[in-house]
Structure 1
Amino acid sequence: MTTTTSPLLSVEGLRVAFPGRHGAPTARAVDGVDLDIRRGEIVALVGESGCGKTTLARSLLGLVPPTAGRVTFDGAPLAYSSRALKAYRKRAQLVLQDPSGSLNPRHTVYDAVAEGLRIHGHPGDERAAVAGALARAGLRPPERFFLRYPHELSGGQRQRVVIAGALVLEPELLVADEPVASLDASVRGEILALLLRLRTELGLSALVVTHDLGLAWNIADRVAVMYLGRIVETGAVEQVLTAPRHPYTQALLSVLPEAPGAPVVLTGEPPDPSRIPAGCRFHARCQILAGGEAERAGVADACRGQDLEILHGGGTNQVACHWARTRPQEETAAKAGTGAAVPPG
């Protein structure tokens, strides 16, 4: 898909912190992120649970106000007044992972999809707009679904209703948080194909939040790998997922069935956003540091004590890793046993 060079959405230095209770340290859920999403582009935001990706996604929509940094949409900084956010959310819509939780069980499909139109005071033909959104989401003929309730639909149909509820406002950006995580494998491909078709037909941009690298391969133009509040590797999806440079990306890929070699078992505790370590934030669990590769490359001390800069939000391939920067990209992937990985999915 060809995209324009100017980003539709741009994030600069974004930070989101949550004060701890009863004197506990502040949790830095998003701790310095730059990210651009161009028109017509699908970006996958990938990482383990707890890495901050959902907080980042919600902050992009104004649902969680940032502690620092800024979000720019279509060239204008995002304002946080009720009126400004209402206008913005007509152009940028959220699709949640659990369609059962997203839909009111007492509302018909028609009312669920029409809700956004009513909130925003849609001046046109409501019935035609709802029918058009359902049809674009793959529920045809749409009138057959108007009076159904969520419990009368399959999981895939419910997710299509959620997507139709977002599409009915004709947004320019979708933020999809684990959009197929709760669906059966047989339905996942249909929903991913739907998102790709919507991008082609409507020119939609999308940020897809996922822990599934196979999903990222199948849907995204670009991938951003997040760990402990920061993006640690980013670039074109083919490049990042076939020749990963960051040890964390390599570990995530190593557990896929298609990956060569043995899975990488990460040591140490899962990430804690209230206790971000000095140096590389991944170093306590890093298989490269634990295995002596960083020491042999002369960067072990830097890994433990020298912080890495925030990766800029553009589309170039970047990595925040002292070790990866000491050697060519092909050698970096090969050293970790993940070079020329079979494309996931």
Structure 2
Amino acid sequence: MTETQTTDETAEATRPALLEARDLHVEFSSRGRRARAVDGVNLSIGQGEIVALVGESGCGKTTLARTLLGLERPTSGEVRFGGAALDYGSKALKAYRRQVQLVLQDPTGSLNPRHTVYEAVAEGPRIHGLPDEREIVASALSRAGLRPPERFFLRYPHELSGGQRQRVVIAGALALDPKVLIADEPVASLDASVRGEILALLLRLREELGLSALVVTHDLGLAWNIADRVAVMYLGRIVESGPVEQVLTAPRHPYTQALLSVLPESPERVVLSGEPPDPTRIPGGCRFHARCQVLASGKAAEVGVDAKCRSELLDILPAVPGAQAACHYAEAVS
């Protein structure tokens, strides 16, 4: 290992957490039962770091993102920003949302068709009473790659391409000069030719502004291209996390392996049986065991952990920079 690699890894390990979830639980009532949408999550995002949160639809990613934004209150655990627990008073939340901004997946749905680009980007600064509105809007559009910004002021969303609309949404977030962006499937609705441009923009914003980001996605290919670290979520809990290259080149959890198998370069496709279980009825043992290809193939039995997979609960993963997986089989063969 070179001296440069050691220095980089030390910096990664000691990077202070800017936004954190600590033992976060979020529950909802569903047909008389409690749905555990987020069921014990530890997650940290450092200054200038991009973390990808990956998993199937219904795994709890969006609920976790909404809770980090202060839009949902946790049942237990806490959200921390800058080392302090999130205050849910109206004034404190308003100030917090200047620092942590949301970028939604559907720019068409995010933008009011009756509002011009200028009005869309100016909405946040007006809510927060910021001076020099025109200068803020122009600067935000320019940072988002819409130049010269004045050329876009009076345009309406239907006059823009999909990529331009997404840039307007990003400009609306940048207008408040946030420290963290939470991007929910930021390129899912865009053509393949435009996806790379938006991902490059997010990386450039990180370099130029020191922005941190949580990118919520079902696409591990996107995570590979943009993230420093990846957290894989299944049924309300993070089941594997670590540096993106380490996790995606040598995944230890069978669920991560299955998600990766759909990528074109994967040598073998893993087809998971069934759907994710009902979050009101999370199974005992490993929550993935009913769909696990390693258990079904007999590999877990070969190393003597099949009974543990079906009956023994796994510890909640801590928020650490190194690679880790919540899996009895992975622990047995490591």
TM-score (norm 1): 0.92
Q: 1:167 aligns with which of 174, 191, 195?
A: 174
Please report how far the alpha carbon of residue 216 of structure 1 lies from its aligned counterpart in structure 2 after TM superposition. Answer: 0.1
Cross-structure match for 2:192: 185
Q: How far off is 1:10 after superposition?
A: 1.3
- AA at the equivalent of 1:293: K
Q: 2:286 aligns with which of 273, 280, 283?
A: 280
Following the alignment from structure 1 to structure 2, what is the Cα–Cα distance between the partners of residues 271 and 148?
46
CA contact (8 A) 1:7 1:36 kept: yes
Aligned counterpart in structure 2 of residue 322 of structure 1, from 294, 309, 328: 328
Matched, 1:216 2:226: no
1:258 aligns with 2:265: yes
Tell me, in whole angstroms, the C-alpha distance in 1 between the residues paired with 2:277 and 2:63.
15
SS of aligned partner of 2:280? coil
Q: 1:51–1:271: 8 Å Cα contact kept in structure 2?
A: no
Task: Give the alignment of 1:199-238 within 5 angstroms.
Answer: 199-238=206-245
Equivalence for 1:294: 300
Shift of 1:271: 3.0
Superposed displacement of residue 268, structure 1 = 2.8
The aligned residue for residue 68 of structure 2 is 60
Matched, 1:158 2:165: yes
What residue is the counterpart of 1:311 in the other structure?
317
Measure, in 2, the Cα distance between the counterparts of 1:20 and 1:166.
33
Asked if structure 2 preserves the Cα contact closer than 8 Å seen for 1:50 and 1:271, the reply is no
Deviations 1:121-141 (A, max 9, x none): 10x311011000000000000
- Counterpart AA for 1:11: A
Measure how far apart 1:115 and its partner are: 0.3
After superposition, what is the alpha-carbon deviation per residue over 1:58-84, rounded to whole angstroms, capped at 9, x for unaligned? Answer: 100100111110011001100111111
Q: 2:251 matched to 1:249? A: no
Contact 1:50 1:228 in 2 (8 A): yes
1:26 match: secondary structure = strand
Q: Secondary structure at the match of 1:232?
A: strand
Segment of structure 1 superposing worse, 2-11 or 88-97: 2-11
1:146 pairs, out of 153, 156, 172, with 153
Instruction: Give the CA RMSD over aligned residues.
Output: 1.0
- Give deviations 1:221-251, integer Å, cap 9, x for gaps: 0000000000000000000000000000000
Kindly tell me the number of residue pairs found equivalent between the two proteins: 324
- How much does 1:6 deviate? 1.1
1:107 to 98, 103, 115: 115
Q: C-alpha distance in 2, partners of 1:270/1:301?
A: 21
C-alpha separation between the residues in 2 aligned to 1:269 and 1:202?
41
The equivalent of 1:89 in structure 2 is: 97
Quote the residue 1:31 is aligned against: 39
Unaligned runs of 5+ in 2: 1-7
Greater alpha carbon shift after TM alignment, 266-275 vs 230-239: 266-275
Contact 1:29 1:52 in 2 (8 A): yes
Cα distance in structure 1, aligned partners of 2:15 and 2:158: 44
TM-superposed CA distance for 1:188, in Å, is 0.1
Is 1:128 matched with 2:138?
no
Partner SS, residue 33 of structure 1:
strand
Alpha-carbon deviation of 1:5?
Answer: 1.7
Residue matched to 1:9:
19
Q: Output one character per residue of 1:159-210: Cα deviation in whole Å (capped at 9) or x when no partner.
A: 0000000000000000000000000000000000000000000000000000
Q: Following the alignment from structure 2 to structure 1, what is the Cα–Cα distance between the partners of residues 206 and 152?
A: 24
User: In structure 2, what is the Cα distance between the partners aligned to 1:271 and 1:211?
Assistant: 18
Deviation at 1:91, TM superposition (A): 0.4
The equivalent of 1:334 in structure 2 is none
Q: 1:44 aligns with which of 31, 52, 67?
A: 52
Counterparts of 2:157 and 2:277 in 1: how far apart (Å)?
36
Given that 2:235 and 2:276 are in contact with CA atoms closer than 8 Å, whether structure 1 keeps it comes out as no
Q: TM-score, normalised by structure 2?
A: 0.95
The alignment status of 1:270 with 2:276, answered yes or no, reads yes
